[in-house]
Structures are given as C-alpha cells and as structure tokens.
Amino acid sequence: MAGQRSWGRRKPEAEPTSDAGTAPAPIRLHVVTEDSYPDWEAVYNDNVDRVYRMMFAKVGNRPDAEDLTAEVFVTALRPLQLSASIGEVRAYLFATARTVLAGYWRRTMGREITVLEEERASAEPETGPDDTGAIARAEAILAELPERYRRILQLRFIGACSLKEAAIELGVTVGNAKVLQHRALRQAAAVADRMEG
C-alpha cells in the first residue's frame, strides 16, 4: 500500500486498555461550555417544539407544520456548527425557518410571506400617509369576495381571532375554517392582482 492514498477517514487509534490489558479504559468526556450543545440530538430536542409551534402558527395544519419542521432541521444540519452558542443556533434555525416558510408559501400561494412573529414584535409600527390608501385597498378587495370568504378574513386578520374562534363564529369546524381561509386568501390575491393590472 505504499504510495497509495486513502481518501476515507483515518483509522481510529487503538483504544487504551486498563491495567488488566483486556477491558478498554473509560472514555473521556468532551467538556462543552454551558453555552453550546453537546450533540445534534440536544440541538433537535431543545428546538423542535419551538420550530414546530412557529410553523403550525403560520400554516395552520399539523401535516404541513411537521413537514416544514423536518425541512428546517434537514436544511440546517450541514452548515450549522455544534460549537456555536445556543443563541446562535436558535437564530440560525429561526432564519432557516423563515427561508423554508417562504418557499412553502411561494409553492402553495404563489407569493412570499416571510414575516414571523419575532420580527413583527421587534418592528416599530409604521404609520404614514399610505395607511389610508392601504385601508381603502383592503376594503375594496374584501368587497369583491363572497360573504363567507370576506367574513373569515375579517375575523382572522382584522379581528385577530384564532382559527378556533373564527370557526365557532362561522359555525363550522376548524378544518373547514382553514380551507375557507386558504381559498379566501387565494381569491383575495387574484382580486388584488386584477386591481393592479
């Protein structure tokens, strides 16, 4: 094998043995600062609920939220360093979640919607001369929609009702409210495009 290159990993060195020469010596633990994760399992376990809740709040259904959560972790796995601090890992997962969510909305709605709650909470409320025009435009779009679509959008986005609250108000199931909201948003987007064109 002289002169041949090995492109694989280096062979592990022989494990040290105890005095008896038969049993391996105890494994030394790698000391990790309290500010970082010891392994990928810890990264996943500490963050999966947070990412899932964020995705569920945005898409409103369990299967898509689970798929998107898995996509966030798969996407973040390669570039993410275990040596990064817990805060850096969470920030990276949040940024990855925003990107994954943008891709989801682009595929399903044909539009990018990438604002997540943490961003919205930290942003200063904007007021300006365009507010009146935006309100008038929103009212015009809502006026073009069928009554049930208009009502679900008013409850969810103007009244800030949860899906469950909106479903109760409309007398439908939560699943039906999700479908109504989805269809109403698609039709509202089509109306907005028609108005711009």
In a domain, 82, yes or no: yes
CB 161, CB 153: distance < 8 Å: no
Q: Report the alpha-carbon distance of residue 25 to residue 18 in Å, rounded.
A: 5
Query: Are 46 and 116 part of one and the same domain?
Result: yes
Q: Which of helix, strand or coil describes residue 24? A: strand
Say how many domains are in the chain: 2
Question: Does the residue 34 lie in any domain?
Answer: no
Q: Please give the chain's pLDDT, 197 residues, in tens.
A: 444 444 444 444 444 444 555 555 555 444 445 678 888 888 899 999 999 999 998 888 898 999 999 999 999 888 888 888 888 888 999 999 998 988 888 887 765 555 555 554 444 444 444 567 777 888 888 899 999 999 988 888 787 788 888 889 999 998 998 999 899 989 988 988 888 87
pTM: predicted TM-score of the whole model, two decimal places? 0.43
Q: Structural domain of residue 95, as residue ranges?
A: 40-122
